[in-house]
Amino acid sequence: MRLFVASWSGLALVHSLAFMRLGRRTANLLLAAGLFTLFSWITRAYTWYANDLQDDPYLALIHFPVIVIFLAIGGYLTYLGIRGRRATRQ
């Protein structure tokens, strides 16, 4: 699997054509971190629905974007872990 490296150079973001290769251990760590993040934030989303939304809707609206952002991060980490495992298998 290839992950392209981006670096900050003064005034602009420079994209390098160099790529990083994921090892089997790194792919497993990404997969584990992604699954843990998904599990913990899915349970947080349930408690958000069960508690926050019914107690104080204004507070619930503040928490909702945080839940969505962390679910997206967990999904992306899981995706990278699965792709990395498939790439190291070949």
pLDDT tens per residue across all 90 residues of the chain: 555 545 445 544 445 555 567 788 988 999 999 999 999 999 988 888 878 778 887 878 888 899 999 999 999 999 989 988 888 876
**Would you say 13 and 6 are in contact if contact means Cβ atoms under 8 Å apart?**
yes
Kindly list the distances between the CA atom of residue 69 and the CA atoms of 4, 16, 72, in Å, as whole numbers in the listed order.
Answer: 23, 27, 5
